[in-house]
Amino acid sequence: MNLFTPIRIFILLLAAWVVSACGDQKLTPLEEGDTILAFGDSLTFGKGTTQDLAYPAVLQELSGYTVINAGVSGETTSQGLLRLPELLDKHQPAMVVLFEGGNDILRNLPAANTKANLSSMIQLIKSAGSQLILVGIPEKSLFSSSAPWYAELAKQFDVPLQDSIVSRLLKNPAMKSDSVHFNSKGYREVAESIFTLLDDSGAF
């Protein structure tokens, strides 16, 4: 029996390498009755459209899972960090969509603080036993791709990242209700992009 132990160890290590090489940031499939918590600011709340057309409502329609709209307009990451624990405890979501940081960027708050707050949120979510995906927001001077700390956090914590949808929609006036918020068409595209990321990552 002992003669086979090194072979078994090698096989296990090889299998682990294959799994890690087959795709990035894979999620565990959601189960029937699971809840998704959409956490963020006005882009989650749905400013610029009605609640039934905000992205959480559309994501619920697309996925078939209950999606809780936990968006608060004007919220910064420091405020969100204080608000998050109670929501995690109350709803015990299987999945969290973390979509925050835009107000920090608009108010020129220190990037290091924003990253630290998001990092703390990710750790809280994971500690609560929830999975998550991260949605990146562009720096206002660039509007080309999400701010670099989103990719850094996604890599650090091994979570899926949607890093292009916000910057792409912000460049398209037909998808916006004002300079920084979307209309119903824009929010539907946000929901579709999040649904696709969840699906591709194995949540559905």
Give the active site residues. 42, 178, 181
How crowded is residue 74: how many other Cβ atoms within 10 Å of its Cβ?
13
Helix axis angle, 77-91 to 111-127, nearest 10° = 10
Strand runs labelled E in the chain = 35-40, 66-71, 95-99, 131-135, 161-162
68's tokens = 């809780």
Length of the chain: 204
With contact defined as beta carbons under 8 Å apart, do 38 and 62 qualify?
Answer: no
Q: Which residues pair with 37 in a beta bridge?
A: 68, 96
